[in-house]
Amino acid sequence: MATEVESEITGTVFQLSLAVGASVSEGDELLVLESMKMEIPVEAPCAGTVTEIRVRPGDGVEEGDVLAVIG
């Protein structure tokens, strides 16, 4: 079952920490968002394999946007 990782804030993608195909454990950092000059890590909500990354550094995101998918 796939898990969509959604943004909890409005901001900009600062950096990606992993690539598609990476194995992750719950709590691993997937990417970093920047909002109001703060860097906010986005962590994996579950263990699995990253099957999609739907954003790139510099992309703007809104609260609720899907950033990545873990299968």
CATH of residue 11's domain is: 2.40.50.100
Q: What pTM did the predictor assign?
A: 0.94
Residues 49-64 pLDDT 10s:
999 999 999 999 999 9
What span, in angstroms and rounded, lies between the C-alpha atoms of 47 and 10?
25
Domain hosting 40: range is 3-70
How many domains does the chain fold into? Answer: 1
| Amino acid at site 21 | G
What pLDDT does 1 receive?
86
| Residue 16 in tokens | 């990606």
What span, in angstroms and rounded, lies between the C-alpha atoms of 67 and 61?
8
What span, in angstroms and rounded, lies between the C-alpha atoms of 28 and 47?
9
Residues 12-42 pLDDT 10s:
999 999 999 999 999 999 999 999 999 999 9
| Residue 26 in tokens | 């719950």
What pLDDT does 13 receive?
98
